[in-house]
A = this chain, B = another copy of it.
Amino acid sequence: MSEFVLFTDFGRRDPYQAQMAAVLQRSVPDWRVVDLHAEVPAFALELGAYLLPSYVPEFPAGSIFVCVVDPGVGGPRDAVVLRADDRWFVGPDNGLLRVVEARAAKARYWYLETPGAASASFHGRDVFAPAAARLARGWRPEGGGHKGRALPEGWPEELDRVVYADHYGNLMIGRRAETLRPDARIRAGELILSQARTFSDHADGMPFWYVNANGLVELAVYQDSAAHRLGLGPGDPVQVLE
C-alpha cells in the first residue's frame, strides 16, 4: 500500500480535484490519496516544474504523483508516465515533469495513449488518474521506455523566480537552498534580504529569506506578508547576490 499524490492547478474551490481523487479511490481503495496541491499557478508550467521536486522526498518510494497543469489539454501535447528514481509521475508532457526528470539519478518515461472515450478537457479524470490507478494495481508501461531527458533548452538549474505565494504571503523561490551559501543575499523588489533561521529571528519586521520546510529558498516577513511588502507574486524574478 502506498500513496497517490495530487499536484495540480485545479483550484481548491472547484470540483475537479475531488472528481479526479474519486477515480483513484474507487479504483484502488486501499491506497491513500494525498490531496497535496490544487493551487499550482495556473497555466505556468515552469513555476510548477520547479516547485514539484521540493515535495517529492516527503513521499514514500512507490508513490505515484498525478500532476496536472495542462493548458494544452485536448490538443497535440503528449501524455507521459515517468519513473524517476523510486517514484512514478503521470501527467502531460508539457514541461511540468521535466525538472523532476532531469534531476533524477535514474529516469525513464513512456508515452501514454489517450483513451477514445476521454473528454477533451479533463484528462486528469479521464487519462491521468486511470493510468495512475493501473500503475498502482501493478500495470507497467510496455517496453523499456525512453531515457530521461535533461532540462528543456534554456531552463536554468535553479529558477530565481517566485514559484508560489502562500496565504501568509510567504514567497517560495524555485531554487534549492542547498545551492546558496548561508550568507547569500537576495535582491527582491527594492530590498536586499539576508538569511534568518526562523521567523521570529526577524521580529523587527524586516523581510528575510530562509530555508523552507521543503528545502526551497523562501522569502518571508515575521507576522506579515512578504508578497505585499515586496510587491511580488508568482513568476516575478529575484536575484541572488553572492
Contact = CB atoms under 8 A, between A and B. Distances in A.
A189 to B, nearest CB: 22
* Consensus secondary structure, chain A interface: loop
Contacts of A37: 15, 18
Contacts of A71: 199-200, 222-223
A26 B32 contact: yes
B14 A36 contact: no
A160 interface: no
Q: Which of A32, A37, A60, A199 counts the most B-chain CB atoms under 10 A from its CB? A: A199
A150 interface: no
A163 B238 CA distance: 37
A153 to B, nearest CB: 22
A19 B55 CA distance: 9
A56 to B, nearest CB: 12
Contacts of A125: 213
Nearest to A6: B18
A168 interface: yes
A122 B26 contact: no
A241 interface: no
Contacts of A198: 73-75, 120-121
Interface residues of A, number: 53
Nearest to A21: B34
Interface string A154-185: 00000000000011100000000000000000
A42 interface: yes
Nearest to A119: B213
A166 B14 contact: yes
A18 B122 CA distance: 23
A82 to B, nearest CB: 21
Contact of A223 (B34, B39, B43): B43
Interface in A22-60: 22, 25-26, 29, 32, 34-39, 42-43, 55, 58-60
A16 B37 CA distance: 9
A236 to B, nearest CB: 18
Given A11-B168, A15-B55, 4 more contacts: A16-B166, A26-B60, A72-B199, A126-B213
